Amino acid sequence: LFEALSGRLSGVFDGLAKRGALSEADVMEAMREVRLAMLDADVALPVVKDFVNKVKERAVGAEVLESISPGQAVAKIVNDALIDALGGAGAVPLNLNATPPVPVLMVGLQGSGKTTTSGKIALRLSTRERKKVLLASLDTQRPAAQLQLAQLAEQAHVASLPIVAGQTPVEIAQRAMDVGRREGYDVVILDTAGRLSIDEALMEEVRQVRAVTQPAETLLVVDAMTGQDAVNTAKAFNDAVGVTGVVMTRMDGDARGGAALSMKAITGAPIKLTGSGEKLDALEEFHPERVAGRILGLGDIAGLVEKA
């Protein structure tokens, strides 16, 4: 399906190229295919509409240099706009500019990869940046969640907060920060239970955690396979706790990851990291320019542009 689609899409671009002139109708036709490609990649509909409108505006009447064909000009505009919408070229690092211990809060839907990503970030900070990291699980909901994080901490050779039964998430968060201060940790990673975007009680709980810890980063962990609901997730978490960065997990799958675009559009927060496996070293910086082609199912857009 994807091949067929990208074939059709580059077919449209080639068609434009052959005609040699860029009319509004040409652009409209190309944009219909771009819209479909984006929907098939799970970019949320309102985000698709917005994107397509902006690109249309840019493309119709855009200056077509003599050296390149109009088709290539459209392809370049689409590609550039997509990279732009994903946050521009290059990766945005974690912000740890605060007085240690620096709290990092992990939030997201059930099963999105928060606990695993907490372990991954701990490993990265402790090995690459020589930070002293404390992992703390605030998950009193899921069976064996605190044990899961403790085991990951062991694998990463970092410390984890001792498990005390019966404490509330807010109490655990406070204890984690106390231990962090007393024992001279640089970073305290606070892993939370998964929660639904419509669960008001649990949203309030994470709001309280945020209030007592004042995290330097509040990372929303999102599955790359997420569909149209990405909009609701992004909005709910951003409204409740103010997302400062997004982590896209399961990029090692074959989902085209359109949710990345929705996340960025709704929260405005940069996508900072991507998960590319279950092991603790499978964490990478997010590169908008690489994900753009994946979303369109069009490795060859870049090729088309390069020819130009």
Partner 1 sequence: SRSTQKLGGGLTSVFTKRKLDDEALEELEDLLITADLGPAVAERIIDSFRRTRFGTEVTDEEIRTALADEIASVLEPVAIPFEPDPAHKPHVVLVVGVNGVGKTTTIGKMARSFSDQGKKVMMVAGDTFRAAAVEQLQVWGERTGCQVIAGAPNADAAGLAFEGLKRAKAQDADLLFVDTAGRLHNKSALMEELAKIIRVMRKFDETAPHSVLLVLDATTGQNAMEQVRVFRELVNVTGLVVTKLDGSARGGIVVALADSFGLPVHAVGVGEQVEDLRPFSAQDFARGLVGSAEAEAETAS
Question: Quick one: which segment of 20-28, 58-66, 165-173, 250-258 binds partner 1 (CB under 8 A)?
Answer: 250-258
Helix axis angle, 24-40 to 45-59, nearest 10°: 150
Residue 15 binds to partner 1 (criterion: CB under 8 A):
no
- Phi, psi angle pair for 139, to nearest 5°: -90, 100
Single out the residue of 272, 241, 20, 270 nearest to residue 121, CA to CA.
Answer: 272
Residue 115 binds to Mg ion (criterion: CB under 5 A):
yes
Name the residues that contact ligand GTP, by CB under 6 A: 108, 110-116, 139, 142, 145, 193-194, 196, 221, 249-250, 252, 275-278, 282
| Comparison of 39 and 92: residue with beta carbon closer to partner 1 | 39
Q: Give CA–CA dist 222/276, Å, rounded.
A: 13
Contact pattern for partner 1 over residues 277 through 296, marking x by CB under 8 A: -x------------------
| Comparison of 110 and 214: residue with beta carbon closer to ligand GTP | 110
Single out the residue of 191, 270, 255 nearest to residue 223, CA to CA.
Answer: 255
Single out the residue of 77, 76, 30, 36 nearest to residue 54, CA to CA.
Answer: 77
| Comparison of 85 and 152: residue with beta carbon closer to partner 1 | 152
Partner from ligand GTP, Mg ion, partner 1, none contacting 262, C-beta within 5 to 8 A by type: none
Q: Which of 14, 80, 84, 229 binds partner 1 (CB under 8 A)?
A: 229
Ramachandran region, residue 277 (left: φ > 0; alpha: ψ -120 to 50; beta: rest): left
Q: Give CA–CA dist 302/212, Å, rounded.
A: 46
Footprint of partner 1 (CB under 8 A): 36, 39-42, 44-46, 109-113, 115, 119, 141-145, 147-152, 155, 196-198, 223, 225-229, 231-233, 235-236, 250, 252-256, 258-259, 278
